Amino acid sequence: MKKPNLKKIWVVFANIALASFICLFIAVLSLVIYYVKSAPTLTEEALTATVSSKIYDKDNNLIADLGSEKRSNAKTSEIPKDLVNAIVAIEDRRFFDHRGIDVIRIAGSFINNLKGGHLQGGSTLDQQFIKLTYFSTSSHDQTIKRKIQEAWLALQLERRNTKQEILTYYINKVFMANGNYGMKTAAKAYYGKELKDLTLPQLALLAGMPQAPNQYDPYTQPEAAKYRRDLVLQQMLEEKYISQEQYEGAVLTEITDGLQPLSNTSAYPPHMDNYLKEVFEEVEAKTGYNLLTTGIDVYTNVDVNAQKQLWDIYNSDTYVSYPDEHFQVASTVVDVSNGHVIAQLGSRNQASNVSFGTNQAVETNRDFGSTMKPITDYAPALEYGVYKSTADLIVDAPYNYPASNTPVYNWDRTYYGSMTLKAAIQYSRNVPAVKTLEAVGLEKAHKFLNSLGISYPELLYSNSISSNTTDASSKYGASSEKMAAAYAAFANGGTYYKPQYVNKVVFSDGSTKEFAPEGSRVMTPETAYMMTDMMKSVLTYGNGLNAAVPGLPQAGKTGTANYTDAEMETILANNEAANYSSLVVPDENFVGYTTRYAMAVWTGYTNRQTPVLDNGIPIATDVYRSMMAYLNPVDTATDWEMPSGVNLYGSYLYLDGSYPQYTYTPSTNTTPSSSTPVPSSSDTSSSTTGTTEPAVEQPQTSASSSTAQEQPAPINPAPSSSQ
């Protein structure tokens, strides 16, 4: 047999490899040429244009023209050398050596990323300017096509303009926070001076801001701003632009040095600030575009009349009598049919000279108390078959958190004995709530909460009556936004819609991206209706009476947070008024809904250690009632229709297959019981108590009368006590 000719085989393989390489090269080159040909054209108009994003309301009316603010463009001769050096040092240290793209920098960045180190990104200052002018600045939008076009345009920019001209374009284009575009504009707004008159640390601050203007805002984020400024100075020192002595003197300068009070230059009314902040974040998350640096048109879901009404409720005494000017409110209103956020406001008496500050309406750092009970305990109990009716019985009696020796306290430190599910919600008893969560199981309850947009790193039994979490991330816990969206699922029959601020974006090239409601069924219509029926009683017989609007079908839940014993001791020692108040709490909430809208309201003080006292307790329900009365004219109000899988017996609801069983056993608890027999489900196998004792529907004690407030005891309340 003839031996194979290895040389010929290798020649064949080599030819195949070469042909493959040539084909691949041609394919890549063709793709690059295609991308280059489809790239935007460099024009003086685009390079110097004012970036302007227009924002529209739900009826397509213009509400804000961002970027239309006055700006002062600097001439090349007006730009101080220290500012040029600061920008180059922090953004592109080889700026004067490359021709638009920096191969050395790209290679260094790639190698350093492989090592897990930190280096400047691969983009040159030219490429960053091209992004600001033509593309999205989001890292999530950096496609191969975009990077090729970006590099091509950067090369063309270098051929077209001098280095000084490119720097001038950049300095005049960048967003500098608080409605200011361009560094000359920022110099005037922040320091009242021309660029040439600023000090080295002031110029370093301006040079460092464009990467994250709001994050490095010296007015609202002084610590982050100082960190960024000092990093710029360090880079200037390393590049030998400044001496060691200059560096040491500059970093010791206070970040507030020379700052003047901001004037209100906003292009939109103050009542839109919180809402627009969420619009910006949603647009960037969904499109990669920053509204403050890219000109696009955004169509939102805001009802401007409702938003203004909410502002007026917050900032006048026409609707609500507030305890003082520092008392705060945060709330969100959603359309229950689609999750559209129609109104949202994070605080009262907002500073008019600060744009896009903290929006408490979306923060999760305060406790929503017993408003968690319907979504953490009772709804999953109905959904997973723990309960079959609103008349199922559960015992309110001394009880410890599962697998612990820690007792669960009711706010009044008393127990009502056997009571129906409906009564437990109506009077917001803590023991039945925790027992219900134990019966459901933490895993199932966690899953149910996740389906409603509320997450915890780990669900605890204490979350039965509280939204507190040890994780500071806004990803976890509850906010007015999250709670309004969660309760909306009860209102619409069981579908959760993710809160949505934007419905459409139109880009500068005329292309459009629309955003449909994101909804999914999370519970049966029967569960949603039974929960609504029980929470209706909170507004008719329970502690939510103040939220009721005569003639308007509503459902909802109150929620109160508590101080620990140690916190209460400190507060009573330092706050004289607290010693004369029957109620001393950090957070008071109300979450409710009609067939059209759901609204969540948080009230309290920015400093949690400043307590809400007696005169502040009704504010949450006052705000809710005022807004719902505006949104829901009684003459057009509708009630919920009972689904086919639910049957009504007396005042209680039963799932198909269960029916009332009237029994009566004299109560032995310490609180007097009603002697009227109360129906319970005939299927008691899933009950957490298995008792046939009658429910205490309207206990004849002062703590449980229909006008009693659902609040913790004023002196030494248990940390676990919640409403």
Verify that 487 and 614 share a domain, yes or no: yes
Q: Per-residue confidence at 13, pLDDT binned at 50, 70, 90?
A: confident
CATH classification at residue 619? 3.40.710.10
pLDDT digits (tens, 9 = 90+) for 385-414: 999 999 999 999 999 999 999 999 998 899
pLDDT mean over 557-563: 96
Estimate the share of the chain in helix, then strand, then coil, as percent rounded to the nearest 5: 40, 15, 45
pLDDT value at residue 268: 80
pLDDT digits (tens, 9 = 90+) for 592-622: 999 999 999 999 999 999 999 999 999 999 9
Whether the pLDDT of residue 719 is over 50: the answer is no
Look at residues 330, 356, 193, 184 and name the one whose alpha carbon lies nearest to residue 627: 330
547 pLDDT above the threshold of 90: yes
Q: Is residue 371 part of a domain?
A: yes
User: Could you report the per-residue pLDDT of 77-118, keeping only the tens digit for each?
Assistant: 999 999 999 999 999 999 999 888 877 766 655 455 545 544
Q: What is the pLDDT of residue 552?
A: 97
Q: Averaged over 524-531, what is the pLDDT?
A: 98
Which pLDDT tens digit goes with each residue over 157-216? 889 999 999 999 999 989 898 878 899 999 999 999 999 999 999 999 999 999 999 899
Which of 478, 527, 519 has its CA nearest to residue 498? 519
Phi-psi region of 494 (alpha: psi -120 to 50; beta: other; left: phi over 0): left
pLDDT above 70 as % of the chain: 83
In this predicted structure, what is the pLDDT of residue 694? 33
Is the pLDDT assigned to residue 150 strictly greater than 70? yes
Assess if residue 96 is contained within a domain.
yes
Cα(463)–Cα(430) distance, integer angstroms: 11
Is the alpha carbon torsion for 689, 694, 700, 705 positive or negative?
positive
In this structure, the strands spanning 646-649 and 519-521 are unpaired
Last residue in a domain, options 591, 621, 649: 649
Q: Which residues contact 516 (CB under 8 A, 6 or more apart)?
A: none
Strand partners for 496: 520
Give the pLDDT confidence of 472-488 residue by residue, as tens digits: 777 899 999 999 999 99
In-domain check, residue 242: yes
Q: How many CB atoms lie within 10 A of CB 410?
A: 27
Establish if 349 belongs to a structural domain: yes
pLDDT at 70 (0 to 100): 58
Q: Any idea how long the chain is?
A: 723
Model pLDDT for residues 211-245, shown as the tens digit of each residue: 999 899 999 899 999 999 999 999 999 999 999 99
More confident residue, 13 or 365: 365
| 362 lies in the same domain as 214 | no
Residue 682 pLDDT > 50, yes or no? no
Ranking 140-154, 175-189, 303-317, 376-390 by mean pLDDT, the lowest is 140-154
Give the end of a domain, one of 194, 223, 252. Answer: 252
Residue 381 shares a structural domain with residue 494 = yes
- The answer to whether position 281 is within a domain reads no
| Domain assignment present for 56 | no
Reported as a pLDDT band with limits 50, 70 and 90, residue 516 is very high
- Does the structure show a pLDDT above 90 at 136? no
Give pLDDT, residue 68.
Answer: 59
Name the nearest CA neighbour of 425 among 541, 548, 563.
Answer: 541
Query: Looking at residue 23, what is its pLDDT?
Result: 79
pLDDT band at 264 (very low <50, low <70, confident <90, very high): low
Tell me, yes or no, whether 395 and 523 share the same domain: yes
Give yes or no for residue 120 having a pLDDT over 80: no
- β-bridge mates for residue 211, sequence order: none
Residue 184 identity (one-letter amino acid): K
Across 287-300, average pLDDT: 85
Supply the pLDDT for residue 44.
Answer: 79
Q: How confident is the model at residue 145 (pLDDT cuts 50, 70, 90)?
A: confident
Distances in Å between the alpha carbon of 119 and those of 53, 225, 235, 244, 666? 32, 20, 12, 23, 76
Q: How many CB atoms lie within 10 A of CB 441?
A: 14
For residue 146, the enclosing domain spans 70-252
Q: Is residue 265 part of a domain?
A: no
More confident residue, 699 or 25: 25
Q: Is residue 258 part of a domain?
A: no
533 and 633 share a domain? yes
The whole-number pLDDT of residue 45 equals 72
Q: Angle formed by the axes of helices 163-173 and 125-134, to 10°?
A: 50
Choice among 155-159, 421-425, 676-680, 690-694 with the minimum mean pLDDT = 690-694
221 and 356 assigned to the same domain: no
* pLDDT tens per residue, range 325-351: 999 999 999 999 999 999 999 999 987
Bigger pLDDT: 130 vs 615: 615
Mean pLDDT of the chain: 86
Q: What is the pLDDT of residue 147?
A: 78
Number of domains forming the structure of the chain: 2
Residue 292 structure tokens? 């403050």
In this structure, the answer to whether residues 348 and 242 fall within a common structural domain is no
**Residues tagged active-site:** 91, 370
User: Tell me: the pLDDT tens digits for 652-667?
Assistant: 999 998 877 654 444 4
Q: Are residues 231 and 367 in the same domain?
A: no
Distance CA 634, CA 258 (A): 56
252, 272, 288 — which closes off a domain? 252
Max CA pair span of the chain: 110
Cα atoms found within 13 Å of the Cα of residue 89, Cβ hemisphere only: 27
| Cα–Cα dist 183/202, whole Å | 11
CATH number at residue 233: 1.10.3810.10
- pTM for the full model? 0.76
Asked if residue 714 has pLDDT above 50, the reply is: no
Same domain, 235 and 136: yes
For residues 228 and 346, state if they share a domain. Answer: no
